[in-house]
Structure 1
Amino acid sequence: MGALVIGLAISGSALAGVDGNATLTSDYVWRGSSQTLEDPTVQAGVKLSSESGWYASVWGSGVSFEPDAGARSEFDFVAGWSGSLSDDWALDVNLTHYMYPSTDVDLDWTELNSTVTFKGNYWLSVGVSDNALASDTTGTYAQLGARFPINDQWRIEGVVGQYFLDKAYADDYLHGQLSAIWKVHGPWELRLTAHDTDNAGKRLFGNNAGSRVEFAIQTAF
């Protein structure tokens, strides 16, 4: 992954751009589970991409888990390729490494992800890992999502995800989320999201799963 970043930086003529994002959220919810014990946090990321479709990115967020393993931050390092397959279809394939510095136990793990998008508004994502959620067991995550633009300022987004986990670790669980997004001005957006998980998710994550509402202010630059 580091070699890809260096290669993109050296080949300046091949760079398509550098993009960034920042978010202030009331609760960092990932695949149906709160990663901050329902507390607010700040998130930010940067992405370096080439004209050929190769890219590398890093994204960070505050975290807080229970039981407490000492994790206070999460960094996601991503390297992959994205591009159009046709006028309607696009593909993104990447390797994501989830890193949690300064923890009492090793929580780091890696996942291979792929996303197929249709007309920019409908997508299917699949992620596979032989160390899902740092459990030393296999896991496959599948997500089906859609966005519905209402006008230039408003859109609705919905996601349904299923995590297929090794029975030695936990039962498979289902989650869903529904968001209303308001484009306030330029790149600034307000997002209100309702999350929920099934009972298997609650058994795995306890009070960090189940029904919750998240509010976020986000921007891209």
Structure 2
Amino acid sequence: MLNKKLLSATAAAVLLSGVSSAMAAPEISANVTLTSDYRFRGISQSNDDIAIQGGFDLGFDNGIYIGTWGSSVDFLTADGEGVDGSLELDYYVGWAMETESGVGIDVGYLYYDYPGDDGLEGDFQEIYGSVSFWDITLGIAYSDDYYAETEKFFYYSGDYSLGLGENLSLDLHIGYNDLDQDGGYLSDGADSYIDYSVGLTASYWAVDWSLAWVGTDLDGEEYFGLDDLVDDTLVFSVSKSM
């Protein structure tokens, strides 16, 4: 899940027509990633297996951006039945800027779509915001009806990136997942959990290489007996930006 419906066609047309006169031709970017395990907020979305991911973005001079991102997924229930198909598609629109003092601001809307749903109603929407200063980013996201129709959800996160050299950085992350309805999609009534990661990212040969230790404070009993999907694990990723 990186990311109910994205802005309607009418709303999007109004948004873009209202700003088109103020923006130059958009900057187009793309990315593709191969990862040993797709972890979203600490929980495996690929059944503890390899996933391929990629996305496209349009960025405008006034800070507005729109884009889409997708990943292969593999969700299993406790009895081994698959749900929500094999693909996640995210659609987003937002605005980002940096002040003269170097403080970055980013706000936006994100819709998570799972084509081919045949089990849980996985699709959901979020609004998000973050502020960045020095090498720290603090963020918050809110969903009015989170994954599997589990009511309200808040996500609070903190990230820190420390440069260790020209092409190497140490990346730290911690997130607090605040769930509604006695835990929402958790199995034992827990209503919150923490996710975290510690990783190294290196850029060589025009490719980004990442190795991260990713985990949560959940155990298998809190996630339908599926220990492997929430236990700490080492995740290796290779990414290319274009």
Same fold, TM-score > 0.5, yes or no: yes
SS in 2 for 1:101: coil
User: Would the aligned equivalents of 2:150 and 2:181 in 1 still touch at CA under 8 Å?
Assistant: no
Paired position in structure 1 for 2:50: 40
What are the Cα deviations for residues 151-206 of structure 1, in whole angstroms up to 9, with x where unaligned? 111111000000011143242000110111111123x1110010111136861363
Q: Tell me which moved more, 39-48 or 201-210.
A: 201-210
Q: Tell me which moved more, 160-169 or 31-40.
A: 160-169
Q: Distance in 2 between matches of 1:18 and 1:92?
A: 18
Q: Distance in 2 between matches of 1:199 and 1:149?
A: 31
Paired position in structure 2 for 1:79: 93
Q: Distance in 1 between matches of 2:69 and 2:153?
A: 22
Summarize the alignment of residues 1-221 of structure 1 with structure 2, pairs less than 5 Å apart.
1=7, 2=9, 3=12, 7=16, 11=20, 14-67=24-77, 68-105=82-119, 106-119=121-134, 121-168=135-182, 169=184, 170-186=190-206, 188-199=207-218, 203-204=222-223, 206-207=226-227, 208-221=229-242
CA shift at 1:7, angstroms? 3.0
Structure 1: runs of 5+ lacking an equivalent = none
User: Would the aligned equivalents of 2:105 and 2:131 in 1 still touch at CA under 8 Å?
Assistant: yes
Q: How many residues align?
A: 218
User: Would the aligned equivalents of 1:202 and 1:209 in 2 still touch at CA under 8 Å?
Assistant: no
Alpha carbons of structure 1 residues 192 and 131: separation in structure 2 relative to 1, 3 Å:
same
Alpha carbons of structure 1 residues 6 and 113: separation in structure 2 relative to 1, 3 Å:
closer
Report the structure, 1 or 2, having the larger strand content: 1
What are the Cα deviations for residues 99-141 of structure 1, in whole angstroms up to 9, with x where unaligned? 000111321000001011113x210010001112233311100
Identity of aligned residues (%): 26
- Structure 2 counterpart of 1:209, one-letter code: V
CA shift at 1:219, angstroms? 1.2
Alpha carbons of structure 1 residues 15 and 85: separation in structure 2 relative to 1, 3 Å:
same
Structure 2: runs of 5+ lacking an equivalent = 1-6, 185-189
Could you state the TM-score of these two structures normalised by the residue count of structure 1?
A: 0.91
CA shift at 1:11, angstroms? 4.1
